[in-house]
Amino acid sequence: MTQDNDQRLAQFFKPAAQQELPDNGFSRKVMRRLPDDTPRLAHLVTIVGVAAMVTLVWGMGLWESVVPNLKALFVTYYTQNDPVSIVLAMLLFLIAATAALSKKVAAMVN
């Protein structure tokens, strides 16, 4: 009796059970509503770090060679929130800074 009733009800609700809802922009709306949870300290560290790097690069006369690459990487970091870009930017800066320092040290020794 109860089993019969359950089967009838399962049959009745079958269209609702099989209903698959297409996304239709739903996930985009959710993503737009997510809070920006990047900590303020992280933003501050990034800004201070970038300012320091720019000052150093400017001081070492590497502006023309490094700027286009760094710019592209920072744009990627901020537009796509891609942490890999900021790591690459730092690596690029470190390589450039090391090269510049080596030249200065070599000049001083000579």
Partner 1 sequence: MALVSRVALLHDKRAFDALVRKYQSPVRRFLLNLTLGNEALSDDLAQDTFVKAYTRIAQFKATAQFSTWLMRIAYNTFYDHRRSLHPPTDALEQHYALGTAAKDSGITMDIYRALALLSPDERSCITLQLIDQQPIEYICRVTGMKAGTVKSHLFRGKEKLATFLKQNGYDPR
Residues at the interface with partner 1 (CB under 8 A): 2, 5-6, 8-10, 12-13, 15-17, 19-23, 26-27, 29-31, 33-35, 37-38, 81, 83
Minimum CB distance to partner 1, residue 31 (Å): 6
Minimum CB distance to partner 1, residue 54 (Å): 27
Q: How far apart are CA 89 and CA 25, in angstroms?
A: 34
State the helix-helix crossing angle for 63-80 and 40-59, rounded to 10 degrees. Answer: 170
With contact defined as beta carbons under 8 Å apart, do 74 and 89 qualify? yes
Q: Which is nearer to partner 1, 1 or 107 (CB)?
A: 1
With contact defined as beta carbons under 8 Å apart, do 73 and 88 qualify? yes
Minimum CB distance to partner 1, residue 43 (Å): 14
Question: Token pair for residue 11?
Answer: 């049959």
Q: Which is nearer to partner 1, 7 or 55 (CB)?
A: 7
